[in-house]
């Protein structure tokens, strides 16, 4: 910059500061723009082959059209996204998918089966974290060219290694990795065989309701509507997700009208928002669950009587009605919704727990470490448990650690008791069952890091049942297997299911239509609208 320009800038600054002052500049969100406050510092990439975080998962759901998707008005219905219809061969090994006509990418090109073929093969070749969703169908780098094939522009044929439950296969096609990307656009930016990864991770090349304008890490994601979106142009032209890490600040911004939706308010703030006439609290049950894992490598924790005693020492309802109100709901099985168990049989009953502990040989209780991550409300839950466990003589030593440290210790079986959470990778029950009731190798060297393995719960029979459910093609039989497995986990396992996440979204009253959906990456922005 020239000296003259600097002088102009300096002069202008002085004048503007003097004249403009630092008074408030009210720029309440415009009618065609929605501003959402959210903690989005977990976004690492926006490439659908890699995305596996909360912040980015829901962004790509709105940038891309997935092969299959969920009806935003009823998330129990899996419907076609880029796929208009599909057929499964009699042997259950081949799926013929007809691609919907008239879907246009942000580049203006029409989406075809060739794009879908490129997108799915790319996931296998890039082999980022969520690749296991497709690998479990038997796809590898060596065979994916044969397993995933576009017959013509309108037909994609995929093959799977075993005759899996069709529900499982189409559910995998609703995951973020099944987002269809504009193959021509991405190919233009390929470098050294990276499938355009370095380019796409900070950009978009999709046919979703929005296109990415900019992503500033730990600051903001700015989206602009796609007027050619196949379900109709979104009512709002711009959608801005702003990183506001502090829940109190989110609430103040919402109250002042500088944001339209706040996503991360705590229980107290949600409660206060209910009495504010300008705000509305919408409650959505998520598929995320919270549980305590008991490492059975510890002698005391290997005793099933102790497992049961612990179940009666937790004040589930007391917590849900007080500091977890509007945040967690009591839920004592590992699946949620229609697939979960309706009953929550356990409640705080100290006498029953004492009796069980005496039968287990610990009438005077014992002392045990409880590993807990430090973000709210986990320490509060741990303290409540500490108080109720003490009534039966069990001393819980709280070990509060950062989330990353807790995860590292829990994955290495380095805990005694651990408070943990679970979020399904996709909405088929297999995703969750595989985590809780599959442990094919209980040795320390196992590469399978399921919850059953982490807690050293050796379950060959249940593991076989989980494999069977994966292949079961009759939906009712499959459902019954999962119910039976949940009953075992609920009553006789070192895994104590406690809560289900409830997302309380607080919005300005003039905003409607935003749907977070049940999963971590199911939020739908395109239906959101504002009235004046």
Partner 1 sequence: MTQWFNRRSLGAGIKACALQVSMFVITILGLLLVTFVIGRVVPVDPVLVIVGDRATAEVYARVHAELGLDKPVYQQFLIYLYKVMQGDFGTSVLSSQSVARDIAAFFPATIELAVTGTLIGVLLGVPLGVMSAVRKDSLLDQVVRVVALVGYSIPIFWLGLVGLLVFYVKLDWVAGVGRIDAVYEYIIERETGFVLLDAMLHGQWDIFRNFLSHLALPGALLGYMSMAYIIRMTRSFMLEQLVQEYVVTARVKGLSEWRIVMHAFRNVLAQLITVIALSFAYLLEGAVLTETVFAWPGLGLYITNSLFAADMNAVLAGTTVIGVCFVLLNALADALGRFFDPRTRSVRT
Among 135, 317, 386, 442, binds partner 1 (CB under 8 A): 135
CA 475 vs. chain centroid, Å, equals 24
DSSP conformational letter for 130:
G
* Tokens of residue 178, six digits: 């099944």
487 binds partner 1 (CB under 8 A): no
Q: How far is the CB of 283 from partner 1 (least distance, A)?
A: 25
Residue 112 is given by DSSP the state: -
- In sequence order, what are the residues at sequence separation of 6 or more whose Cβ sits closer than 8 angstroms to the Cβ of residue 228? 104, 108, 207
Per CB under 8 A, 326 contacts partner 1 = no
Q: Which stretch binds partner 1 (CB under 8 A): 130-138, 173-181, 261-269, 327-335?
A: 130-138
Q: Taking CB under 8 A as the rule, does residue 143 contact partner 1?
A: no
- Residue 161, interface with partner 1 (CB under 8 A)? no
Should residue 29 be labelled a site residue for partner 1 when binding is judged by CB under 8 A?
yes
Give, as ranges, the residues between 448 and 467 that touch partner 1 (CB under 8 A).
449
Q: Cα separation of 87 and 484, whole Å? A: 30
For the residues of 260-309, what is the DSSP string, one character each? SEE----HHHHHHHHT-TTEEEEEEEEEEEEEEEE-TTSTGGG-HHHHHH
CB-nearer residue toward partner 1: 64 or 362: 64
Q: Residue 7 interacts with partner 1 (CB under 8 A)?
A: no
Coil, strand or helix at 338: helix
User: For partner 1, which residue of 31, 127, 161, 399 counts as binding (CB under 8 A)?
Assistant: 127
The reply on whether position 22 binds partner 1 by CB under 8 A is yes
Residues 42-61 that bind partner 1 (CB under 8 A): 42-45, 52-53
**Mask for 174-213, x = binds partner 1 (CB under 8 A):** ---------------------------xx----------x
Q: Evaluate the CA torsion angle 348, 352, 358, 364 in order and state its sign.
A: positive
Q: Does 404 bind partner 1 (CB under 8 A)?
A: yes
Q: Applying CB under 8 A, which of residues 2, 443, 447, 531 lies at the interface with partner 1?
A: 447
Which secondary-structure segment (H or E) carries 434? helix 429-436
Q: Are 257 and 28 within 8 A, CB to CB? A: yes
Does residue 502 contact residue 328 with C-beta atoms inside 8 Å? yes
Q: Which helix (H) or strand (E) element contains residue 67?
A: none
- The binding site for partner 1 (CB under 8 A) comprises 1, 5, 9, 12-13, 16-17, 20-27, 29-30, 33, 35, 41-45, 52-53, 127-132, 135, 201-202, 213-214, 216-220, 222, 238, 240, 242-246, 248-249, 252-253, 255-256, 258-259, 402-405, 407-409, 411, 425, 447, 449
């Amino acid at each position: 910059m020239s000296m003259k320009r600097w002088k102009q800038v300096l002069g202008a600054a002085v004048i503007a500061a003097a004249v403009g002052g630092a008074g408030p500049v009210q720029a309440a969100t415009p009618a065609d723009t929605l501003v959402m406050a959210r903690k989005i510092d977990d976004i690492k990439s926006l490439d659908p082959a890699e995305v596996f975080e909360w912040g980015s998962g829901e962004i790509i759901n709105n940038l891309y059209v997935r092969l299959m998707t969920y009806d935003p008005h009823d998330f129990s219905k899996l419907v076609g996204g880029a796929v208009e219809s599909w057929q499964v061969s009699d042997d259950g090994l081949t799926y013929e998918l007809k691609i919907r006509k008239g879907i246009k990418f942000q580049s203006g090109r029409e989406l075809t089966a060739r794009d879908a073929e490129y997108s799915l093969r790319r996931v296998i070749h890039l082999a980022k974290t969520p690749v296991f969703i497709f690998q479990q169908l038997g796809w590898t780098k060596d065979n994916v060219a044969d397993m995933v094939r576009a017959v013509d522009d309108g037909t994609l044929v995929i093959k799977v290694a075993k005759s899996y439950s069709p529900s499982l296969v189409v559910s995998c096609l609703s995951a973020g990795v099944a987002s269809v990307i504009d193959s021509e656009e991405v190919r233009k930016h390929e470098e050294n065989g990276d499938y355009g990864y370095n380019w796409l991770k900070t950009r978009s090349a999709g046919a979703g309701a929005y296109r990415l304008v900019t992503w500033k890490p730990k600051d903001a994601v700015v989206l602009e509507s796609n007027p050619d979106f196949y379900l109709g142009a979104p009512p709002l032209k711009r959608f801005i997700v702003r990183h506001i890490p502090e829940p109190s600040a989110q609430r103040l911004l919402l109250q002042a009208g500088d944001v339209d939706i706040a996503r991360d308010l705590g229980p107290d703030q949600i409660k206060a928002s209910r009495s504010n006439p300008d705000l509305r609290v919408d409650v959505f049950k998520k598929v995320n669950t919270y549980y305590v894992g008991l490492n059975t490598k510890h002698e005391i924790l290997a005793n099933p009587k102790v497992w049961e005693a612990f179940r009666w020492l937790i004040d589930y309802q007391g917590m849900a009605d007080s500091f977890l109100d509007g945040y967690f709901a009591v839920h004592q099985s590992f699946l949620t919704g229609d697939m979960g168990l309706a009953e929550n049989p356990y409640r705080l009953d100290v006498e029953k727990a004492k009796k069980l502990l005496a039968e287990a040989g610990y009438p005077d209780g014992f002392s045990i470490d409880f590993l807990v991550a430090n973000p709210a409300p986990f320490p509060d839950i741990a303290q409540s448990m500490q108080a109720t466990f003490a009534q039966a003589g069990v001393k819980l030593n709280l070990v509060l650690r950062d989330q990353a440290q807790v995860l590292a210790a829990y994955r290495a079986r380095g805990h005694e008791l651990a408070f943990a959470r679970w979020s399904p990778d996709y909405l088929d029950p297999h995703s969750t069952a595989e985590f809780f009731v599959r442990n094919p190798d209980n040795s320390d060297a196992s590469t399978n890091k399921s919850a059953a393995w982490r807690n050293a719960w050796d379950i060959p029979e249940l593991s076989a049942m989980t494999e069977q459910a994966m292949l079961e093609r009759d939906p009712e039989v499959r459902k019954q297997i999962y119910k039976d497995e949940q009953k075992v986990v609920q009553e006789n396992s070192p895994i104590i299911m406690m809560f289900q996440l409830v997302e309380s979204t607080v919005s300005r009253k003039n905003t409607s239509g935003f749907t977070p959906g049940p999963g971590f990456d199911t939020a739908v922005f395109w239906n959101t609208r504002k009235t004046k």
